[in-house]
A and B are shown apart, each in its own frame.
Chain A
Amino acid sequence: MESLPLLSKAFFVVLFGTSLRASTPLLLAALGETYTESSGVLNLGIEGIMLSGAFGGFVVALFTGSLLFGFVAGIFIGLALALITGFLTITLGVNQIVVGLGITILASGMTSFLFRILFGTRFPILPVVATKLRIPVLADIPYIGGAVFNQHLVVYLSLALIPVLHILLYRTSFGLKVRAVGEAPISADAGGVDVAWVRFACLLLGGALAGLGGAFLAIGDLSFFVSNMTLGRGFIAIAIVMLGKWNPYRVFLGALLFGVTQSLSSGLQVLGVNVRPEFILMLPYVMVIVALVVIARHTLLPSAFGLPYRRGEK
């Protein structure tokens, strides 16, 4: 043990490494939800989509022996649930909160039900170890190197998505349409933008990323599935989007903050600090509330947030 245990190398590697990994499901879901919310749709169903992605990803990876198929399954399940959400909220224009909670309740029941049907009371663990991609030179940087540049492929993918999605939202005509549809759907419609199409596109992007995030949680970060394992991560992702004010870079910082709080438990265990586990487990949720109060009070939501749009109706 070194004289200052807080600065010990093991602590840093564990803390940063697990933080980055733990924040990846959140980051993916929050990046997608950034688009969904910008276009004026609140998708409370992403909690359910993440859970379904976790379940589908785990089952497919277990039966095919391939993580890649598991991730693809997560994406497709996310797309399918987003399609149902879009049909109800965009096409039919019914209450987004009701639909989102409905999707979440359905996903919670359905995944537990199917898991029991498939595995009974057994809890299988994925035999394939998550394949890490070690980037040669960079991984040798002391402290950070081993943590940041020795990660799963999906972690790099989610990091690469941040600038891409930022440019797409703030530097392209598609991004302009997304924001216009969220702020003033009537004007956007008058300007020739297909409001329903843009919202569908954002919802599907959000669904795909939340599904992938859920799959990563089950088969990338961990290697098993348990009932309701997302533990509110979808809802935290929604809060992170509000904290990040629809800016993918700030959304990343928010996700990382919660990754840090979530992985504090493993970091503190390395240090040998003895804190009641319940206090560590509740930390991310307390952090959400505190961060919202400090950063996001009176955040201006997109003007048409949560409202359905139908031509000819106010």
Chain B
Amino acid sequence: MKKMILILIFILIYQNLTAQTFRTSVSKNPVHVGERFEISFTLNAQGGSFKAPSFSGIRILSGPNQSQQMSFANGRSSVNLTYSYIAVALNEGEITIPSASIKTNGKTIKSNTITIEVLPETEAQKRRKEQKKKQEQSLQQQAIDILKKTIFVDLNVNKSNVYEGEQLIATYKLYIHPDINIVNIKPGTMPVFEGFWAEEIDLGRIEYKTEYRNDVPFRAAVIKKVVLTPQKSGRLKIDPYDFEFTARLRVQGGRRSNDIFDQFFNDPFFGGNYRDFPYNTSSGSATINVKSLPDNAPESFYGAVGDISTEIWFDKTKTKTGEPVTLKMKLSGKGNLKLLSTPEITFPPSFELYDPKVTDNIRINSYGMSGDVIFEYLAIPTNPGTYEIGPVSFSYFDLNDREYKTNKSKLFEIKVEKGKDVSGGVITGVEKSDVELIGKDIRFIKTGGELQKNQKKFFGTGVYYIFNLLPFIIFLGFLIYRKKNQELQSNTTLLRNKKASKTAKKRLSIAEKYLKEQNKAKLYEELSRALWGYTSDKLSIPVSELTKDKINGKLNELNIKPESIEKLLTTLDHCEFARYAPTQEGEDMQKTYNDSADIIIDLEGQLK
């Protein structure tokens, strides 16, 4: 079995070797660096699906080129299929051409490899190369020399001495000789205008016009135009604009060191090749000298420079409270209108002023900025009345006369009538009740009369406290007095009661003396006193208040015997009567004295 397989493999290989061969060959070996040679892969049969090897150390100039050869010899036909390459060796040394593969009769076969020896360049080769390089260099140089004379970018400034705020125009212009074929223009970085306010003028489509430079006609086009307004004084630089051009020029193929310029102009239709040359150029910069504006700027100067006319008007001169009026200020002319700060306008305080609305209609063209700006000041009157506003003024710096100029409006008079109440609106300043007060004057001063000294507050003063406390003290005093009085009263009653009989006895003894003297008047007086005094003390009734009725009532209350009372009263009566009676017996005097003594003793007994 093993033998069988071996035999089979052998047969296959043999058949392969004898029947189809795929060979690699080179046209030259060894070769010089830079020398051309041919590499061929030849199959002596029909085939397809050629797979080229990856070459290294050589540069393929062309290929694979396929060719087929059929030949009949000795009655047998044979076919040769060749794939060939034209190549150059790059470096000195040895190169191996790897094997390629191809399919034939359903089999893939490989070619053999070949090693090529590469020799150094020959002298002639070297010389040629150098020459070529030189030629190339001079060609480039010539091209640049030509382009220098045929492509320009210019920066042109219409003024170089300006005032701050004065406009100037910078123009970048491109000049191209009509015979130069520009393939591509690539602008470099855009210039930055430091210190300027820049407004680019819209140029639309770039149009070329014929312009003469040193009597040579050029195609010229403005590529950038900018209105510049210097924002500060001093020396300001305008940046250059860079461009990268690609110009297509025709060069003469075989001829050497030719003036291609001549070629170009003299022989436009015949001979030569076109080549593209890069060319960088710049417009160059410019310096502007900016003067600052004079110091004596009026108050109404808001930075306007140029030639400006002013129109100031009110939309109406009669309004109602809450209904707005608009003051419009229209500035028109040539100048830096876009760069103005909003002019301030003073309204009376009873006007509510809103931020002004600014509308501009400004054209920017080759003459600079011009047009008009309208400032609208909306003000809402809150109080009725007639108000004067203005005159409103606006100042600008005139460039022709080099001085400040002021435009002044007339004096405006606005009549404000009372409008409808604005409820919940913005106007809340004045209360409804106060509206009718507006315009009224204050009331007159007060004259005449006395002047008050510093009036002290009564509350908290000593007098205040005294007046407050006094009633309490009085009340307290009253209570104390009353209590004491009551006590005293009850004390004296007791005392008098005790003293009563004693006093009576004293009186009686005095009366006895008068009885002996027979002094009738004195006797009865003393007896009367003794009786009155006794009852008064006993009953605790002051003598002044004592009457016979009272005695009667009081004694009755005290359950004194009616006879005793009767006796007391008659005796009292008798004493009074007898005092003034002209004649009286002596016994009667004795009897009255005895009666009185009896009564006192009797009452003393009963009142105990």
Q: Do A and B come from one complex?
A: no
Spell out A's residues near B (CB within 8 Å): none
Residues of B within 8 A of A (CB): none
